[in-house]
Amino acid sequence: MDDLKRYEELVKTIEYHNDRYYNQDDPEISDYDYDMMMKELKKIEKDHPEYVTPNSPTQHVGGSAKREAGVLVRHRVPMLSLQDVFSKEEVQEFVESMQETLVDPVFIVEYKIDGLSMALRYENGDLTTAITRGDGIIQGEDVTVNARVIKDVKNKLKEPIEYLEVRGEVYMTNEAFDKVNEIQELNNKKTFANPRNCAAGTLRQLDSRITKQRNLSMFIFNIQDIRGKEITTHSQGYEYLKKQGMKVIDNYQICHSFEEVWKAIEMIGESRDQLGYDIDGAVVKIDSYEQRQQLGQTAKVPRWAVAYKYPPEEKETKLLDIELSVGRTGRITPTAIFEPVRLCGTTVSRATLHNQDFIDSLDVRIGDTIIVYKSGEIIPKVKGVNKDKRPADSVPYQIGNVCPVCGAPTYQEEGTVDIKCSNPTCPSKLVRNVVNFVGRDAMDIKGFGLSYVETLIDQGYIHDVSDIYTLKDKRQDLLDKKVIGLVKSTDNLLNAIEKSKENDATKILTALGISNIGKSAAKSLMKKFKTMDQLMNASYEQLIEVNDIGATSAQILIDYFKDEKNKEIIHKLENYGLKMEIEDTQSSSLLENMTFVVTGTLPTLSRKEAATLIENNGGKVSGSVSKKTTYLLAGENAGSKLAKAQSLNIPVLSEEMFMEMIKS
């Protein structure tokens, strides 16, 4: 079989399996078999670039095809932003100015979806390119691979047309967002702050399978360019797009006067709670394309549209209770528990009240009707109290002078507003100490979640963190009482605990949860002192010589190691077989006095492997770019850290350049 025939056969076969995998969720072949076909196809395309077309499987979604992050495409039509207006008067001013300039203008009022813009280009009815807004004028990022797996994006129009470019908003429904966060929590991963952030991150995913799983949606809100069909108005365009199978903005209103425009804006505002997705305003635009052309645009915005932004979303709800929690340091934090309300895309029922001073300043009382909002549309906060709705029998709230967990006396720390529990063995402190100890950046004991921690403490198996390593001797008792679960769950946890003994003293020091001593400081300390014993006996003067350790941290360490209870725990950990020293893995001092930041996806190394190589050669790894950064080691999808490094003129290394540096 010649190359062209084999190429055509592969294209046809791969497209079939793409449809089985992405559209029917019913794959017929293994990922390996699919990858081998793709590998063969890419080789033929490399040998015969003349074969490649925009419809090749290598140019769009495949079973494991990943796009290259950061590929830019020039805009054919600018994706401008809209002029924002915030008052009824500004809307009236816009409408009246249009009426003065144009002959009998017709207005369209529609939802402003809270998502991110994407343009879709169709040639002869086939989707060829999907582009993010980017800079809005010159170029955006090619996200065609991911766009193809969004259910609302049509890969083929019902009626072929010479050329069509549309613009729409990619978003997540509240249901899809809640499901993604639920999965993130189950996998012990960071949850997303709101649907828009999640949608933005998902659209730029390297793996289109993740994009498909997260169930993005899209509304089309404009025809950017069209050839082969005459469309004269926005509303006519919507009807045409609907016939092509496209999903356009719901329930748009056609208006002829300011009164009608404002009524439509108010109706949209009143409907926000009933929608299954977030909107952040209402758009008012001229319906006629000819009149739009007549008005033109500024360098940033079209003159024929404005976006009315509703005031920040605030809602009243009833304060049901104030819950007190005790942190790892003993600090008591009050949290408002209120009747659930939907704010900026998520259902919230809790918000911190910070401390007694904050409660007093707002005069918050249980039973009050409180006003809640989201700071930066992310963090729920209590803004105030509607005292007109206050129950007659309400009383001022006081945190009190006893710990809500153990009943020990509380005290106010000097110079602060913090109220703390005085009991060093308070169970609530213990829960958080153990959670910190077993966490990913500490001892990294897989599967040791909060529920296990609370159960083991409640049932008396753990009194301090060292007791974790006595659980293996209580295996049968744990099984008999089903404390953890059946045999497999119990053994998995006990095995993970035993495996954690392989960690060196740096991990242990991080896990102890000493105030101000995180992962980076722990590495610097152990690099200097080598053993836990030497660190425990270090003087103040020796401690402040260490990078990352200032006067406050040095004194905290001195005080911590003076405490007999803390010393006893460390000695017990040593007796249970934990390593109280670090291995000297530094192979050279090549990178000494150099600070690296690692970001993005490297071709062959994980970030952890790259960090280990840097540290083994005497360098230091930091999590953020600053003037002290020597090099940025950057892979695909480097993002804001790359931009900051470039703005500070910090040299940027690829993995290949970095490996050459190490080899030299």
Percent of the chain topping pLDDT 90: 48
Domain 3-65 has CATH 1.10.287.610: yes
Residues 6 or more apart whose CB falls under 8 angstroms from that of 389 comprise 316, 368, 369
Percent of the chain topping pLDDT 70: 92
Is 535 one of the annotated binding-site residues?
Answer: no
Catalytic residues: 112
Is 32 one of the annotated binding-site residues?
Answer: yes
CATH number of 314-412: 2.40.50.140
Q: What is the DSSP letter of 651?
A: -
What residue has token string 């800079």? 135
Q: Picking from 54-63, 267-276, 387-396, 600-609, which range would have the lowest pLDDT averaged per residue?
A: 54-63
Q: For residue 41, what pLDDT band results from cuts at 50, 70 and 90?
A: confident
The pLDDT value recorded for residue 70 is 55
Is 198 one of the annotated binding-site residues?
Answer: no
What the block records as the tokens of 39 is 């590998």
pLDDT in tens, 409-458: 998 877 778 898 888 678 878 888 899 999 988 999 999 988 899 899 88
Is 255 one of the annotated binding-site residues?
Answer: no
Superfamily per CATH, domain 83-308: DNA ligase/mRNA capping enzyme (3.30.470.30)
Is 252 one of the annotated binding-site residues?
Answer: no
Separation CA 116–CA 118 (nearest Å)? 7
The pLDDT value recorded for residue 61 is 37
Q: Picking from 25-39, 180-194, 394-408, which range would have the lowest pLDDT averaged per residue?
A: 25-39
| pTM for the structure as a whole | 0.52
Separation CA 301–CA 78 (nearest Å)? 10
Instruction: Let me know: does 3 contact 49? Beta carbons within 8 Å.
Output: no
The pLDDT value recorded for residue 200 is 84
Q: With 90 as the cut, is the pLDDT of residue 623 above it?
A: no
Is 324 one of the annotated binding-site residues?
Answer: no
CATH class of 595-663: alpha beta
What residue has token string 């791969």? 14
Is 114 one of the annotated binding-site residues?
Answer: no
Is 74 one of the annotated binding-site residues?
Answer: no
**Residue 295 host element (H or E):** helix 289-295
The pLDDT value recorded for residue 34 is 66
Q: Tell me the average pLDDT across 609-616.
A: 87
Q: Which of 145-154, 419-428, 539-548 has the highest mean pLDDT?
A: 145-154
The pLDDT value recorded for residue 63 is 35
The answer to whether domain 427-502 and domain 505-575 are alike in fold is yes
pLDDT in tens, 348-360: 899 989 899 999 9
**Residue 349 host element (H or E):** strand 346-352
Superfamily per CATH, domain 427-502: 5' to 3' exonuclease, C-terminal subdomain (1.10.150.20)
Domain 505-575 has CATH 1.10.150.20: yes
Q: Where are the domains of the chain?
A: 3-65, 83-308, 314-412, 427-502, 505-575, 595-663
The pLDDT value recorded for residue 67 is 41
The pLDDT value recorded for residue 65 is 32
Is 466 one of the annotated binding-site residues?
Answer: no
Is 97 one of the annotated binding-site residues?
Answer: no
* Half-sphere exposure for 631 (CA within 13 Å, toward CB): 21
Averaged pLDDT of the chain: 87
Q: Tell me the average pLDDT across 160-177.
A: 94
Q: Sort strands 346-352 and 332-343 into parallel, antiparallel or unpaired.
A: antiparallel
Is 609 one of the annotated binding-site residues?
Answer: no
